[in-house]
Amino acid sequence: MTLEFDHSTGKQFLTRPVPDEETTESAAARVRPILLNSEPVYWGKTLKALSYLGHGKPDFRDEAIRDLREIWKKVQPPAGKARAYYVQVQKEDAPKPTAATDNALGLAWFYGDVVHADLLRRAEGDAFGINERYRAAAMLVAIAMVSTIMTLNLIIKLRAEGILKLSEDVFTEDVVVSNLQERQETEVFMGDVGTPLPDGPLGGIPEGFEAFHPDKI
């Protein structure tokens, strides 16, 4: 964020660059389960589980979890509380300005513009426009991502110390599509319309089908 002051006119300008919306939408979809209390990976449930699993073990220190919990509380402040700033706008014919917190604006974009069509959430940010809602959301998503990485780093540390017993697959399983044009050797079979789909073991030509060949088309 940059604040400029034009000495010749006395005008002030605020520049706030944000990432492109497609990138933020992708990140928002990934962190969304961590922000929802109803999800099994909700941050509060995760920290509670870590505290439970580490309790009573000699090398376990609960301070790191308490610190993380405070960080997450700042990611999701109580309703009506700002994370970092408030915004006010006022129409020419309005008697007073409309105010909203950065958190309310970010959630209005999150649930009103992107992942849901939540009219109540959207109404909280309508007066400010899509650009202001998106700026707040970009910050919300970024802070949630950093907090998620911090939580993951703690999990890795606790595993390395032998406090958590987690399979190596948890850390090595692919979670991002890397091959956008996969070429695989395959077998294709043809059957008349209405032929029941095979439900037996793979291998050989299924009953009612024949091997595909271009000459048979």
Q: What element of type H or E holds 15? A: strand 12-15
Read off the pLDDT of residues 14-31 as tens digits, 9 standing for 90 and up. Answer: 898 999 999 999 999 999
> From CA 106, how far away is CA 95, in angstroms rounded?
26
- What's the pLDDT band for 175 if we cut at 50, 70, 90? confident
Read off the pLDDT of residues 36-82 as tens digits, 9 standing for 90 and up. Answer: 999 999 999 999 999 999 988 887 888 999 999 999 999 988 888 99
Q: Does some domain include residue 207?
A: no
Read off the pLDDT of residues 110-131 as tens digits, 9 standing for 90 and up. Answer: 888 887 777 887 888 888 999 9
What is the structure's pLDDT at 52?
A: 93
Are the C-beta atoms of 78 and 188 separated by less than 8 Å? Answer: no
Q: Does some domain include residue 115?
A: yes
Domain count, the chain: 1
Q: Which neighbouring-strand residues pair with 66?
A: none
Read off the pLDDT of residues 135-149 as tens digits, 9 standing for 90 and up. Answer: 999 999 999 999 999
Residue whose C-alpha is closest to residue 151's, from 35, 59, 24, 43: 43
Q: Reply yes or no on whether the pLDDT at 213 is more than 80.
A: yes
Q: Does some domain include residue 143?
A: yes
Residue whose C-alpha is closest to residue 89's, from 124, 37, 40, 138: 124
Q: Does some domain include residue 202?
A: no
Q: Does some domain include residue 127?
A: yes
What is the structure's pLDDT at 32?
A: 92
Residue 116, domain extent: 2-172
Task: Give me the chain's average pLDDT, please.
Answer: 91
Q: Does some domain include residue 183?
A: no
